[in-house]
């Protein structure tokens, strides 16, 4: 489970930027939170709104970048411990709109939980080479984290849990050391950290990848789960099959005693989207994974988008601590009946063309009071009261009643 993600000098983001999944002390929807004993409860969902070009996709790309940087060397050698779902690898790209940022490293920092531990991972990359890297771990509720390893350029220091004579401290400058350890050694603490990285699902559905659900449809139980979810959405597909000879996907419906088939290409854009996105959503819920999806709302009816969101917010469905991070333009779901205030984020560029993010919970009105959980979030956003709107000049002022 992701606790917090920070990064700097990546694409449209120059300064340090932090996205938080740690729940604030708010009264609404407490039953939806992911509790972890004595540690801070975590949010099951975060959504990012904002104008085109504001930085929504780049925020998700930053998270995809650090995850793919860590996992790809392991995956390429077939050493991954579980199925890794990544639409495409995201390269490191620094902020371009000043003279100094291109000469500075791009930095990432992650805090995440696996079972009884919270991990902190830092990575800095410049010109394709690792500048610095570290991994720490502490017990949930504990105060002092233990160092697993620290790396500065080619100098590597090992912590007590992996300090062995046989472990090689020389590694390719382009490879993360955590990846090197995962490939070459069987170390419980590294295996546990890599479990989280490999479990992340990274997808963009602005253009649904054709037949992306095929690997999941090869498992009968997963196929039936997909069909059941579609039926819950009043999409009456009775079966889905892939014709090997034609290399074509078909859906089947029953009308009276007769069955009829449609090619995947003949289905509506929305149904195509659901057939591609639902398998990874169900995988995340089944195994407690993190799903990072750009433009989840594209080609989806707002009620279907809300259905997907509630799957993660329902503790009876989301029994393993799965999380969803997605971008959206859909105002129908920006409501106090759908999200907590700390689950709504905005991305926008400032006058220096630097993207910034902030949560609805952070915004204060002229009276210095926070937005109330009874406010009409969608209406106030469209009025320009929350910023992140390219057409309205009234950014953070106004009466937030």
Q: Minimal CA–CA distance to 238: which of 222, 254, 223?
A: 254
How far is 397 from 366, CA to CA, in rounded Å? 6
State yes or no: pLDDT of 208 exceeds 90.
Answer: no
Average of per-residue pLDDT values in the chain:
92
| Average pLDDT, integer, range 213-236 | 91
How far is 275 from 292, CA to CA, in rounded Å? 17
State yes or no: pLDDT of 398 exceeds 60.
Answer: no
Q: Which residue has the tokens 């805090």?
A: 111
State yes or no: pLDDT of 362 exceeds 70.
Answer: yes
State yes or no: pLDDT of 391 exceeds 60.
Answer: no
What would the pLDDT profile of 122-155 be if each residue is shown by its tens digit?
A: 999 999 999 999 999 999 989 899 999 999 999 9
Residue 87 pLDDT grade (very low, low, confident, very high; cuts 50, 70, 90): low
How far is 178 from 105, CA to CA, in rounded Å? 19
The whole model's pTM is what?
0.93
What would the pLDDT profile of 275-309 be if each residue is shown by its tens digit?
A: 989 999 999 999 999 999 999 998 899 999 999 99
| Average pLDDT, integer, range 336-340 | 98
State yes or no: pLDDT of 399 exceeds 60.
Answer: no
Q: 196, 119 in Cβ contact below 8 A? A: yes
**Higher local confidence (pLDDT), 52 or 190:** 190
State yes or no: pLDDT of 119 exceeds 70.
Answer: yes
- What pLDDT score does 299 carry? 87
- What pLDDT score does 400 carry? 39
Please, which residues have CB within 8 angstroms of residue 32's CB and are 6 or more apart in sequence?
44, 313, 314, 315, 340
| Average pLDDT, integer, range 223-243 | 94
């Amino acid at each position: 489970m992701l606790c917090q993600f920070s990064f700097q000098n990546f694409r449209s983001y120059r300064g340090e930027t932090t996205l938080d999944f740690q729940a604030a002390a708010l009264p609404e929807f407490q039953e939806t939170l992911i509790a972890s004993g004595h540690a801070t409860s975590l949010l099951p969902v975060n959504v990012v709104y904002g104008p085109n070009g504001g930085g929504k996709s780049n925020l998700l790309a930053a998270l995809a970048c650090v995850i793919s940087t860590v996992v790809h060397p392991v995956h390429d050698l077939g050493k991954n411990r579980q199925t890794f779902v990544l639409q495409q690898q995201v390269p490191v790209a620094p902020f371009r709109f000043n003279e100094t940022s291109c000469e500075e490293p791009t930095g990432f920092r992650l805090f995440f939980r696996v079972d009884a531990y919270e991990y902190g991972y830092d990575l800095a990359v410049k010109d394709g080479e690792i500048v610095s890297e570290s991994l720490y771990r502490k017990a949930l509720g504990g105060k002092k984290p233990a160092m697993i390893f620290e790396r500065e350029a080619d100098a590597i220091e090992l912590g007590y849990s992996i300090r062995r004579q046989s472990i090689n401290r020389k590694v390719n400058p382009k490879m993360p050391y955590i990846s090197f350890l995962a490939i070459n050694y069987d170390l419980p603490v590294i295996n546990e950290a890599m479990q989280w990285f490999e479990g992340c699902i990274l997808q963009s559905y602005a253009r649904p990848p054709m037949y992306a659900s095929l690997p999941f449809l090869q498992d009968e139980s997963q196929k039936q789960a997909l069909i059941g979810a579609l039926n819950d959405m009043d999409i009456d597909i009775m079966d889905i099959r892939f014709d090997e000879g034609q290399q074509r996907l078909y859906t089947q419906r029953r009308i009276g005693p007769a069955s009829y088939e449609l090619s995947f290409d003949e289905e509506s854009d929305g149904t195509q989207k659901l057939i591609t996105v639902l398998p990874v959503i169900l995988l995340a819920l089944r195994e407690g994974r993190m799903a990072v999806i750009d433009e989840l709302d594209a080609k989806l009816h707002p009620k279907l988008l809300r259905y997907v969101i509630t799957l993660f917010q329902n503790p009876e469905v989301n029994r393993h601590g799965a999380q969803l991070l997605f971008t959206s333009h859909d105002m129908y779901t920006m409501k106090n009946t759908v999200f907590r205030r700390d689950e709504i984020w905005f991305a926008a560029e400032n006058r220096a063309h630097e993207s910034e993010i902030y949560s609805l919970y952070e915004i204060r009105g002229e009276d210095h009071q926070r937005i109330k959980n009874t406010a009409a979030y969608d209406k106030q956003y469209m009025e320009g009261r929350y910023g992140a709107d390219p057409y309205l000049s009234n950014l953070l002022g106004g009466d937030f009643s």
